[in-house]
Structure 1
C-alpha cells in the first residue's frame, strides 16, 4: 500500500465546527497511468502527476489518505481516465483509494449497461458509493434509460460534461441541443443527481463557468440534486456555487495548492 510522505498532518476537532462551504466540497482524484494527475482545462495530453503541498508523491493511495486524514473528507469523486479514454479500468488504483475509507463516486467511462456490468465484475471486492455516467461516454438516450433501470436512483449520477459551454460528446443523440435540454431529458428519464462540469475551467482557478446554468436548472428541476465545480480557487468560489443551488462542489487543484486548507474547526 502507498505510504504518504506528508509535510503537514492535522486532525479535525469536530465536524460540527466546520463551515457549510467546507462540507460542500467533493474532492476530486483524476487517475492516469497509475498516478493522480492535475487537470488542465480538459487538455488531457497535458495532465501531469499532481504536486501537493500535503503529500510527497502522487500515488492514488497517498492522495486518498491525505483527503481522509488531513482534510477529514468522507467521500471523493474519481475519474479513471484510463477507463474513460482507453477502456482500461485501473483496478489497483481504485482499490488503493477505497481502502483509505473514502466513499467513491466513480466515473469509469460507462456508456451502457454492458459496460457497467463489466466494470462491476472487474472491481470484485468492493463497489463504488455512486456510479457516475458522463455525457462524454454515454452511448445514447436509450442507454441512459436502461442504466436508470439497473442502478438505483440514489447511486446513479449523470455528469453533464461540457467544454467552453458546449456539450462534450461525439454522439448524434446529444449534438445540436443545449445543455439545458440535455439536463431536462436526463431528469425525465429518472436522473435525480447531476454534475454540471465545464472542463475548460478545470485547474484554471478562475471560478466556475456553470453558475448561471446551476441557477436556472435549480429552479426548473427542483427534484434533481445539482453538483458543480471546475476552476475553484478560494472558499468564496465554493460558497458562491452552493448559494446558487449546488449541493456539492468538485475541487482538486485548490486543495493541493493550499488555497483551500484543511479546516481545523
Structure 2
C-alpha cells in the first residue's frame, strides 16, 4: 500500500536531549532548539499535517534510542500517521515500535549493514519500512552521516524495493539544514530507479523548492528548518 497516495509536505520533529532541534548538515554543535516535541507535533497537526516525521538524533549518533519518552508522548497526543527514525538497529526493536502504534519505521544504518532486516520486519508488518538513503557527495552515509559506505543511492534504492520497503527516504546531506535550496537531480535519479514512493528531504527553503521536488517525482517532502524559521507556513506548503 502506498503511504503517500497524494503529495504530502511532512513536518520534521527532530529530537535531541528531549528538545526539538535542527542541525546543519547533520553535524552536532550546529543545532538550534525549538522547544517541546509534543507542542511542536500538536502545532503541525493543527496546521494540517497528515504525517509527522520523527527523528531521534541521539539514537542516530549513539546507535540506541534516547528520546523514547518524547516519541511515546507524541504518539499519545496526536492522531496522524507517524514515522520514526534514529537508533533503530534491530528487527525486534522495529517490530516493537510498530506494535506500539507507529505507522512506519525508518531504517538507515541497520538497512545498509543488514539489508535482510527490511524483509524480516515487512513480513510481520507489511508496508511499514522506509529505508533512509542519506547521500553526501553522491555516496550513502550512515551512523548519523559520519561514515561513508561507497554505495550509490539510486543503485541501493532498487535493492530495498526488492526486499519489501514501502518507500525510500532520500536525504541530500549536502544541503540539509542550510536553507539554501534543493538539488533535484539526485532526487530524480532515485525516483527513476524504483517504483515505490520516494520521500525527499534536505535543503527546502522556499515554496518553489517544494514545487521542484514534487516535479522531480517525490511523493512527499520532509521540511524542517524552513517551517521552524517561518520561511513559509505549512498551510501554504500544503497548498502546493
Instruction: Pick the TM interval, shorter chain.
Output: 0.7 to 0.9
Which residue does the alignment assign to 2:26?
Answer: 42
Consecutive unaligned residues in structure 1, runs of 5 or more: 1-21, 51-57
Asked if 1 retains the 8 angstrom alpha-carbon contact of 2:138 and 2:152, the reply is no
* Alpha-carbon distance in 2 for matches of 1:161, 1:245: 17
Structure 1 position 76 matched with structure 2 position 52: yes
Q: Which residue of 1 aligns with 2:233?
A: 261
Equivalence for 2:179: 205
Secondary structure (helix, strand or coil) at the match of 2:133 reads strand
Deviation by residue 1:202-224 (Cα, 9 ceiling, x = unmatched): 21112223x21332333332x21
TM norm structure 1: 0.76
Larger CA deviation: 155-164 vs 72-81: 155-164
Which stretch shows the higher mean deviation, 103-112 or 251-260?
Answer: 103-112
Match of 2:42 among 65, 80, 92: 65
**Among candidates 74, 78, 83, match of residue 97 of structure 1:** 74
> Which residue matches 1:225?
197
SS in structure 1 opposite 2:107? strand
How far apart in 2 are the matches of 1:106 and 1:97?
11
User: TM-score by structure 2 length?
Assistant: 0.84
Q: Identify unmatched segments of 5+ residues in structure 2.
A: 1-5
CA distance in 2, matches of 1:256, 1:73: 14
Which residue number corresponds to residue 181 of structure 1? 155
Q: Which residue of 2 aligns with 1:112?
A: 90
Q: In the aligned structure 2, how far is the partner of 1:108 from the partner of 1:250?
A: 15
Measure the CA separation in 2 of the matches of 1:85 and 1:137. 16
Q: Name which of structure 1's ranges 242-251 and 39-48 shifts more when overlaid on structure 2.
A: 39-48
Displacement after TM superposition at 1:134 (Å): 1.6
Are 1:194 and 2:168 an aligned pair? yes
Q: Distance in 1 between matches of 2:214 and 2:192?
A: 14
- Partners of 1:165 and 1:204 in 2: how far apart? 17
Task: Name the CA distance, whole Å, in 1 between partners of 2:174 and 2:110.
Answer: 14
CA distance in 1, matches of 2:38, 2:61: 22
Among 150, 157, 165, which residue is 2:138 paired with? Answer: 165
How many aligned residue pairs are there? 226
- 1:140 alignment partner, one of 114, 123, 130: 114
Q: State whether residues 195 and 228 of structure 1, in contact with CA within 8 Å, keep that contact through their aligned partners in structure 2.
A: yes
Matches of 2:57 and 2:193, distance apart in 1? 32
Question: Looking at CA atoms only, which structure, 1 or 2, has the larger radius of gyration?
Answer: 1
Distance 1:193 1:88 in 2: 22
- Provide the rounded CA distance (Å) in 2 between the counterparts of 1:111 and 1:130: 14
